[in-house]
Each structure stands twice: as C-alpha cells, then as structure tokens.
Amino acid sequence: MIYDLFVVGGGPAGYVAAIRASQLNMKVAIAEEKFWGGTCTNVGCIPTKAWLASSELFDKIKGAKKFGISVENVSIDMKKIKARTNRIVMRNRKGIEFLLKKNHVEFFNAHAVIKNLHSARVGDKTVEFKNLLLSQGSHPIKFSPFNVEGILTSDEIFSLDEMPKNLLVVGGGVIGVEMATFFSTFDCKVTIVEIMDHILPTMDTDVAETLTNTLKRRGIDIYTKAKTLSVDRADEGYKVIFETDERIEKNFDKILLSVGRKSNVFDDLKSLGVALDNKGNVITNEHMRTNLESIYAAGDINGKYMLAHVASREGIVAVMNMSGKETKIDYSAVPSVIFTTPEIATTGKSENDLKHEGVEYTKGVFPMSALGRARTLEFNDGFAKVLSDKTGKILGITIVGPMATEVLMEGVIAVQEGYTLEQLVKHIHPHPTISEILMQATEDALGMPIDK
C-alpha cells in the first residue's frame, strides 16, 4: 500500500495533521516512537498546567482570609499531585489514540527512519508514501557545566514525587518562570539564574518587571546577567558557583535546566538532503514545504515558535497544500501564553519589535488595579497594553493579570484581522469582567480613557 501521507511524530503537529488529512480523504499513516501527544501532552503544556492548577488552588486557600473565609491545616501531597497529573496525561494520550482510530489513521508505535523521498523503515516494516510530514519535535538543550548526573530538564522534572527544600532554575524563560511559580507556592526556596538582562528576555521590559516584582514577593531570588561557572555534586544536592556583579556560591537540592529546546533532526533527514538553517532547524516556506517538494515540516522541528498551537496550525496548513488547497501560514498574531501568577498573554508586535523595525506607534495602557473585576478577585498586579500604528490599526496586545490567557483571543482576532482602535472599542464588553481591560486600554490609546 502507498499512503497519500506518512507522518513522523505524534505530537500536536503530527496527529492533528494526520486527522485533517484523513478528513480530506487522504490515506494516512503516522509513526510515534514514544507517547502520543508529544512534548505538550507528556512533559510540557499539560502536566505543567496540571501542576500549576494545584499550586494556584493552594495559593487561593492560603489567601482565603481576604475573602472572609478561615481555613486551617492546609498541606500538600506531592505524590498525589503527581498521580493526578499522570491520570490527566494518560487520558490525553488515550484520547489522541482514539481520535486517530476514529479517523481511520493507521498508526505505528515505533521509530521511523526515512530511507528516501517516498519510503521509510518503521520497526520491521517498510512504509511507502506520496507525501511526508516531518513533526519529530524537539528536546531540551543541555550544555557544560550542567553535564552532571541528576540535573533535571523539563523532560524529567515531572518525575519528582517529593518537594525539594531549595531549587535552582537555570533560565528565566517561559518554562523557568512557570516552574518557579509552582515550587515557590510550597515550602521550597527557589532561585532563578538568567544570563540576559531580565527574565522573559524576549518580552518587553514592563512585562518582565511586573513578573519579577511578583516573583520576588513570593520569596524567589532572581539573578540576571548571571553566568554559571561550575556545578558539582555535594553531600546533599549540588554546589553551584555563578557570577553577576560578584561571585556567588550556593547549594541546592535540585537543579532545573530550562534554557530552551533543540529540533530533533537526525542523520536520516540530513542524508535525505532536507535543508537546515544555521541552528539545525528544518527550513520551511509559507506552505510548510521544505526544499524537497513532497516533504513538509511542522512544529518544533522547524524551530519557528515551538508552541503547540502553532504546531497544530502548521500541520493543517501543510496538509491543505498537499491536498491541492493552496494555504499559507499566518504568523502575524501568534498568541503566547504564560501560566504564572499573574498570567501573561501576548499577540502581535511588542514594543521591542516596533522599536527595532522603526515603526511609529501609539500605546494605550490600563492597570489591572483599576479594573472592577480584578478588585473583586483581590488582584492588583498587571496591566493591558494595546499598540497601534498612526492610522489606528492594532499591531499588538499584551495582558498581564488574572485570566489573561483566557481573554487574549479577542486581541488575536483584532491583530490578525487588522482591526482599528475604533473597531475594537465600539463593541460592548461585559461588566464586570477581565475582558474589559482591553476596552479600557484601547480607550487610553485613543486619548479618551474613562476610568483612568
């Protein structure tokens, strides 16, 4: 049998693409050597959010007195948190397998080696195909001096069933700050070491400063412009030496290395002649096609965004093009969401982007502390920011605060559809809600704020 499409990798790009291809009447097979759902389901988005749901609830219970509620003897059971997380992950895996079966996708739980443009070796079988989708995902980056036994990455952190007394988080990006939020909720002393000028180095400074202040209030030590000099095993954990303005030596029970991920590009792809960029990512065009006409790539392997929701859209775009329906990927309004406290959600251009591109822009900002719904939640940290060009077209939106990740979608639509400030503000927003903050920030951008 010759398949219309063979997919390598069962993560958010691969399984979504396989299902959509089957819905378009293509004969599809998919191979996954580990677990269905890829990084997101197994060691990324889903287990992280399961952990953070537990820590958020614990935080709310500890702060119950603000709401007139008395609670005593609150404690955690790390083993039960882990067991709950494992149940959620397993349910998602089984759900993906069910969907593949439902959509008549043939699947292999085995490693696939690409032999040529139209065939692969999967276990002891040869699979032939017309089109190939590469969606093998990525793996955590490791480097010296962290090549020491027992150091955790995001792939291993969920194996913990005891709360460490103190934890070093190396890297203040998304994974680092989310894990720092979780562990600092409990009796764990957390230290973040970041080599750049501030945590969340790809985001605007106002976002980073807001989160920095809240993390410090949680008791987290944050060192920026910090370089790790050495890591050695100690009697109980690790001895770490790093320097900022001064040389610092500290001991930690556990270390989480969270400095990014690298695409899973192996020798078979290199031998095939798939073009790679200087970081080792598979190069794709706006149709998700590689330099080889019948081969496409989606998700982390192309290194563009390394976000599950982007991976899924890329997989769909690839399949649409395979089926003859010309479709282009649109990265203009990619949502980015971070599940810290406060939550952070952005889409479109940042101020850093616009300054770098030399674009004149208008900024509207509204503080979370002035929003009625936020006050009812006893939440003061955060803001919303709306950026627009001189014609009033909305270029970017940032929300920092409670439920920011849930209310961002209005901003995604506004940016992607090219809304103006006037178009967004004319819609009646429900009161009292967090979503009102976008209306308030837009009014500020127009120079006519009501509640500021």
DSSP structural state of residue 356: H
Handedness of CA 290, 296, 301, 303 (dihedral sign): positive
DSSP bridge pairs for 132: 6, 295
Structure tokens at 439: 């209306």
DSSP structural state of residue 244: S
CB-based contact 185:55 (threshold 8 Å)? yes
Q: What is the CA radius of gyration of the chain?
A: 23
Query: Cα–Cα distance between 310 and 285 in angstroms, integer?
Result: 15
Helix (H) or strand (E) holding 234: strand 227-234
Q: Is 356 a catalytic residue?
A: no
Closest to 289 in 3D by CA, of 247, 317, 270, 308: 317
Query: Cα–Cα distance between 247 and 233 in angstroms, integer?
Result: 19
**Residue-by-residue DSSP string for 136-195:** --EEE---TT---TT-B-TTTGGG--S--SEEEEE--SHHHHHHHHHHHHTT-EEEEE-S
Measure Cα distances from 327 to 23, 28, 297, 319 in Å.
17, 20, 14, 9
CB-based contact 422:439 (threshold 8 Å)? no
For residue 22, give the 3-state DSSP assignment. helix
User: Among the options 104, 356, 427, 431, which is catalytic?
Assistant: 431
Cβ neighbours of residue 261 closer than 8 Å, sequence gap 6 or more:
39, 138, 139, 140, 141, 300, 306
Query: Cα–Cα distance between 386 and 348 in angstroms, integer?
Result: 10
Closest to 274 in 3D by CA, of 262, 293, 290: 290
SS3 content of the chain, % helix, strand, coil (to 5): 35, 25, 40
Helix (H) or strand (E) holding 414: helix 409-416
Query: Cα–Cα distance between 298 and 12 in angstroms, integer?
Result: 9
In angstroms, the first-to-last Cα distance of the chain is: 66
Q: Annotated active-site positions, please?
A: 431
